[in-house]
Copies of this chain bind each other. A is one copy, B any other.
Amino acid sequence: MAKYDHVLKQLDDFKIELPSWGFADTGTRFGKFLQSAAARSIEEKLADAGQVHRLTGACPTVAVHTLWDFPSGKSIASVVKAAKKYGVAIGAINPNVFESQQYKWGSLTNRDPDIREQAFAHIRDSIEIARQVGSEYISLWFADGINYPGQADLIERKHLMADALKSVHDTMAENMTMLVEYKPFEPAFYATDIADWGMAMLFARAAGPRARVLVDTGHHYQTTNIEQIVAWLLDENMLGGFHFNDRKYADDDLTLGSIDPYQVFRIFHEIENHRFRTGKKPALAYMVDQSHNLKPKIEAMIQTVDTAQHLYVKACLVDRKALATAQAKEDLVASENILRAAFFTDTRPILAEWRKSHRLPIDPLAAHRASGYERRAAAKRSKGGKTDHSFA
C-alpha cells in the first residue's frame, strides 16, 4: 500500500459536511413519505450526523438552516453543546429567506424595501450565529425569481441583489466566506435571479474578496459540462465549495453518483488537475445536499460519504504524468484509457487501509446496520410529533 500513501494522506484532508436537514423528513410537491426514524429536532439531527461521522470519520461538521435549526427562542449555546456531545461541530450557516409568506415576490430582490430588510436582517442574524458558533461559511441560496414573462424587471432585481450581496459581504467577519449558489429553475419557473455560474460569479466578484461561488451538482441545464465550470471557477479563484447530489431529470437531489458516477469522478479529476497544475490545494467546502425521500436518512448519508470517498480516491489515482504525455501526442485513446483505468480501479482496499488506520469500521454501512441505531431512533422518535420541513 506504500504506493498509495499520498492518496491516504489526501483522504485525511477530504472532509464532507452533512446537512442537518438531510436527517429530517423530506418529499416532493406531491407529498412526503414519513420515516419513523427521521430526526425531529436539531439535537436529533446532530445525533444522526454524529453517527455518520463516528462510522466514516469524514464528516466532522454539520451544515445548519437558520430558520429550522435556530428557531427564535432556541439558544445557540445549546446547539453548540449538542454538537459537541455528538462529536461534530457546526459548519455552514444557511439562511432561509424563501419559505415565509412575505417572500412570495422575492427576498433580497423584493420590490418592497421592508421585506428586503427583513431578509437582510435574517441573513445578518445568520452571520451572528456563525460568529458565535465559530463557523466560517455563510451559504446563500435564493429562491428569488419570477414565474411569468413580464412579472418583473429582471435588471431591477439584478441591481437589488447586487447591492444586498455587497452588504451581506461587508457584514461578515474577516475570517468568513460567503458562498453564492446558483440554480436555473424551481421554484421560479420563468427566470431565476441567480440562474447560472456566470451570474453567481458576477455577483460574488462585485460583493467583495470573501465571496465565492457554490456549485450544486444538480443545478445545471441538461448536458452542461459541470467539470468545465468547476475548472474555470478554480482557475478564476472563485470556487468556494459544493452541494453534492445527483440527478437524472431536474433538481432531483438523489444520492451522489447514483446516476452518473463518472461525472462525479471527472469533477474530482478537475480539482486534482488544478492542484497538479498550481501545486496548491484549493480551500473547498464539500457539502451534501440531498433529499432522501425514500432511503433511510442515515444509511443514505453513509452511502454518500462512501461513494464520495471512492470517487475522490479514483480521481487521485489518475496518472497525471502519463496523461500529460498522451495528451502531448494527441493520443485520445490512451488519454481516455488513463482516466478509465483510474475510474475502474478497485478502490476498496485503499479505503479499507485508510479506515483501518483510523480505527474505523471497514464497512460503515454494515456497522451502522449492526448498531441498532436506526431501530432505537425509530422507536423513540415515532412517539412524538414530527418536524415538517422543506429543504433546499
Contact = CB atoms under 8 A, between A and B. Distances in A.
Bin the interface of chain A by size.
35 or more
A232 B199 contact: yes
Contacts of A156: 277
B346 A231 contact: no
Interface in A167-226: 184-187, 189-191, 195-199, 201-202, 221-225
A131 to B, nearest CB: 27
Interface in A100-131: 101, 104-105, 111
A242 to B, nearest CB: 18
B333 A295 contact: yes
Interface stretch (A48-56, A254-262, A280-288): A254-262
Nearest to A295: B332
Interface in A289-343: 293-296, 299-300, 303, 310, 323-324, 326-328, 330, 332-333, 335-340, 343
Contact of A152 (B33, B327, B344): B327
Contacts of A337: 303, 365
A293 B147 contact: yes
A190 B266 CA distance: 12
Contact of A149 (B201, B339, B346): B339
A248 interface: yes
Interface of A: 26-31, 33-34, 98-99, 101, 104-105, 111, 143, 147-156, 158-159, 184-187, 189-191, 195-199, 201-202, 221-225, 227-228, 231-232, 234-236, 247-250, 252, 254-255, 258-263, 266, 269-270, 273-274, 277, 293-296, 299-300, 303, 310, 323-324, 326-328, 330, 332-333, 335-340, 343-347, 365, 390-392
25 contacts: A26-B29, A27-B187, A29-B391, A30-B98, A30-B99, A33-B104, A105-B294, A148-B254, A148-B255, A150-B335, A150-B339, A152-B335, A154-B228, A155-B231, A155-B232, A155-B273, A156-B277, A184-B223, A184-B249, A191-B228, A221-B223, A255-B336, A261-B343, A294-B332, A346-B346
Closest 10 A/B residue pairs (Cβ)? A198-B198, A221-B221, A189-B252, A150-B335, A185-B249, A28-B187, A33-B104, A150-B339, A250-B250, A222-B222
